[in-house]
Amino acid sequence: MDFFLLIDKPSGITSFDVVYKVKKAFGIKKVGHSGILDKLATGLLVVAVGKQATKLLEFLIHLDKTYEVEMILGMKSDTYDLSGNLEVFDGKVDFGDEEILTILKSFEGEIMQKPPQYSALKINGKRASDRVRQGEDVDLKARKVTVYRIENFDRIKETRLNDSSGQGKRFRFNVHCSSGTYVRSLVHDLGAKLGCGAVMSNLRRVKVGGFDIKDSLKIEDLNKMDNATNHMQISINDIVNKLFCRINLNKIEFEKVKCGKIIVDHFEKEEENLAAFYDDQFVSILKKEGEILKVYKNF
């Protein structure tokens, strides 16, 4: 049994909690996901179920992401969101919407971004966030990421805070960015440019590559899956067709590939990685090297 699920992760559980629930629901040990969502964040996780499906996760992890973001100006936090130690800015926060949007959109394009100290990034095998909590000084290097587009910027009038500190200072926007981009850092860096600080108050992932939250399954519905909801299971063939350019092997080529041997590249495809099919079944990922194709991974 090998397939993929699109899961809408609720706030308050980790991405690994989702994996555990999928394992339990289907009685399968080999389960993985396409990229961590923070515990407080919600939204799309692409979950691979079964040994063959999880072999494709390395190609899903690097897909671009789209998020719906909410933030509060006039605050700082060591975690860059509301879960950390908050420090309220004591000056005026009276920027116009256009001024904020102009600075926010200055982050579009290829940028160098420093991840938050409180992150799942590992330093010598240990999470940066765990090292910080244990009192270590952590200095993460800035990394190159791409912010493709920031849009749907809007001011939020209401506030969820107990006092009026968030009134008129809360905003929402959508961001489409490369894998590895930290939206918390984006918000933090905006606050630094404005000089008043900013924290992320809500994050929802709505797209991973070509996969959309609209097609996802609620975590509480996992145990209710039956013949009527099996259409929520995405086959390996469907995933592969979304990710790769397809080539069809003849029998001789198939026999060589099955044994891990190279074949001549006569397919005239520009992509570096190709999905090889034989008799309409997905059999291998092949990698171009000059005029030959080498087996990267057989299935």
Percent of the chain with pLDDT over 90: 78
Which superfamily does 65-202 belong to?
A: Pseudouridine synthase (3.30.2350.10)
Matching CATH topology for 3-63+210-237 and 245-298?
A: no
3-state secondary structure string across the chain: CCEEEEEEECCCCCHHHHHHHHHHHHCCCCEEECCCCCCCCEEEEEEEECHHHHCCHHHHCCCCEEEEEEEEECEEECCCECCCCEEECCCCCCCCHHHHHHHHHCCCEEEEECCCCCCCCEECCEEHHHHHHCCCCCCCCCEEEEEEEEEEEEEECCCCCCCCCCCCCEEEEEEEECCCCCHHHHHHHHHHHHCCCEEEEEEEEEEECCEEHHHCEEHHHHHHCCCCCHHHCECHHHHHHHHCEEEECCHHHHHHHHCCCCEECCCCCCCCEEEEEECCEEEEEEEEECCEEEEEEEC
245-298 fold: 2.30.130
- Annotated domain spans of the chain: 3-63+210-237, 65-202, 245-298
Q: Which residues, including other chains, have CB under 8 Å from residue 165's CB and lie 6 or more apart?
A: 74, 75, 88, 159
Q: How confident is the model at residue 159 (pLDDT cuts 50, 70, 90)?
A: low
* CATH of segment(s) 3-63+210-237: 3.30.2350.10
Name the pLDDT band for 49 (thresholds 50, 70, 90): very high
Residues noted as catalytic = 38
Q: What is the pLDDT of residues 175-195, one digit of tens each?
A: 999 999 999 999 999 999 999
Decide if pLDDT at 163 tops 60: no
pTM of the model: 0.90
Predicted pLDDT of residue 226: 59
pLDDT of residue 230: 67
For the cut 60, the answer to whether the pLDDT of residue 164 exceeds it is no
The two tokens of residue 225 are 């899956």
pLDDT tops 50 at residue 228: no
Predicted local distance difference test score (pLDDT) of residue 269? 94
* Average pLDDT estimate for 80-85: 92
